[in-house]
Amino acid sequence: MLDAGLHLLADQNLASLGVREVTREAGLSPAAFYRHFPDLAALGVALVEESLASLHIMIRAVLAEAGGAEELIDRAVDVIERHVREHRGHVRFLARERHGGVRQVREAIDAELGRFAAEVGAALAPQPESRGWSERDLRMLAELYVDHMVSTAAAFLEALETDPAREQRIAATARFQLRLISLGRERWQAG
Amino acid sequence: MLDAGLHLLADQNLASLGVREVTREAGLSPAAFYRHFPDLAALGVALVEESLASLHIMIRAVLAEAGGAEELIDRAVDVIERHVREHRGHVRFLARERHGGVRQVREAIDAELGRFAAEVGAALAPQPESRGWSERDLRMLAELYVDHMVSTAAAFLEALETDPAREQRIAATARFQLRLISLGRERWQAG
DNA sequence: AAGTTCAGCAAACGATTGTTTACTGAATGG
DNA sequence: CCATTCAGTAAACAATCGTTTGCTGAACTT
């Protein structure tokens, strides 16, 4: 049922999805839907959890890897690119519903992205570049990274669906921007 | 009719909007819709143009202002905050439909944001900090600024609708992040 | 082996949908 | 002053919708 929903949401949007539509795609009767979810919003929230599970794994993979800033950036962008390609449906769903029409889903996504930022912040803390940073500053830096990751993922997705040749350009742009942020971070203490 | 649509889109999204719904809100008969638009997608594109007109003015206002990096950042964040408050409906529409279910609208928004990035890049070029930068690098920096602006605007919007007290925190975060990017930019030539 | 939960079905309900058609009155222009 | 465009209407079309109801068979539990 979740798969059916996700498949429909490829070119639709949660608020415009219909109960009958989902059950038809799943090969079930309309009434069967209510055996599993009270609402379409509930199905949306379930999809959020499913979508962010794999994303969570991805982020941990990047954070776990030690190494210099350069290699870390390259690796992060690569992982994002691959993740978008391998979980296209999930990424599209998240991008589309993050500011979409269903409040419960919006809030679920935002809460989870907030947790990501906290996790990134925690991983940043022990690094030598973070010496002297307040927790607040670290959090704001982490949010910048997370927002940038989201933007990059959305750009990859759009490229994948319209002009795949653009992928390289997006990857190069993302790396450049991350390097810029990294430089600013190193210089912050001096300011 | 556009106003009616925008009002409906406050808690809905374009793909789930109905012709009858719009005309009912506008106090007209269903058939009247087709006198003005062939599609709901066409109404969406019209709303994109309306929404981006004011945004364009806002961006020019920020870019025109000369001054040091610090004051420019403060001013930019203020302008964004005020713009979101004064054009809440437009901003919400753009955030929601940027990755929404209607391709024509998505493409219209992306094209216009690309034009914004070009404009920002052109304004960045003559600044002393840009000495030695290739056009490509300037463009990537401009895209970072535009993406950051979009993220910030979306955050302001979400705060306005759920927890207005959070506005200050978002503004502070945005300023911090912009300062970080600015520092990275200054240091870039050295790398 | 009896009872109970579970996941599914067909059918039916009124309500709402998008779109077309033929018609109307007002403004506009030559 | 006549013709034409324009923005609106009511009515009708089949189609789809969300949801409830009562029923069925399979799978567990005890």
Alpha carbon B38 to chain centroid distance? Answer: 26
Share of chain B above pLDDT 90, in %: 87
- B12 pLDDT more than 60: yes
The 3-state DSSP class for residue A125 equals: coil
Q: Is the CB of B29 under 7 A from strand D?
A: yes
Q: Profile chain A (191 residues) by mean pLDDT over runs of 10 residues.
A: 96 96 97 96 96 88 84 95 96 96 94 94 93 96 97 97 96 98 88 50
How distant is C1' of D7 from CA of B26, in Å? Answer: 14
- B183 pLDDT more than 90: yes
pTM: 0.93
Q: Is the CB of A36 under 7 A from strand D?
A: no
Please compute the mean of the pLDDT values over residues B87-100 and round it to a whole number.
Answer: 96
Tokens of A106: 């919006």
Rounded CA-CA distance A137/A143 in Å is 10
Please compute the mean of the pLDDT values over residues B21-41 and round it to a whole number.
Answer: 97
φ, ψ of residue A182 in degrees (nearest 5)? -60, -40
Predicted local distance difference test score (pLDDT) of residue A190: 54
Please compute the mean of the pLDDT values over residues B16-22 and round it to a whole number.
Answer: 97
The 3-state DSSP class for residue A54 equals: helix
- B190 pLDDT more than 70: no
- B191 pLDDT more than 60: no
Residues lying close to strand C (Cβ under 7 A), chosen from 1-60 of chain A, are 23, 27-32, 35-36
Interface test with A, best of B129, B177, B181, B182 (most A CBs within 10 A): B177
HEC profile of chain B: CHHHHHHHHHHCCHHHCCHHHHHHHHCCCHHHHHHCCCCHHHHHHHHHHHHHHHHHHHHHHHHHCCCCHHHHHHHHHHHHHHHHHHCHHHHHHHHHHCCCCCHHHHHHHHHHHHHHHHHHHHHHCCCHHHCCCCHHHHHHHHHHHHHHHHHHHHHHHHHHHHCHHHHHHHHHHHHHHHHHHHHHHHHHCCC
Are A180 and B95 in contact (CB < 8 Å)? no
Predicted local distance difference test score (pLDDT) of residue A62: 86
A54 and chain B: CB distance < 8 Å anywhere? Answer: no
Tokens of B39: 């599609």
φ, ψ of residue B41 in degrees (nearest 5)? -60, -40
HEC profile of A94-114: HHHHCCCCCHHHHHHHHHHHH
Please compute the mean of the pLDDT values over residues B130-149 and round it to a whole number.
Answer: 96
Share of chain B above pLDDT 70, in %: 99
For B53-78, how does the pLDDT look when each residue is reduced to its tens digit (9 = 90+)? Answer: 888 888 888 888 878 889 999 999 99
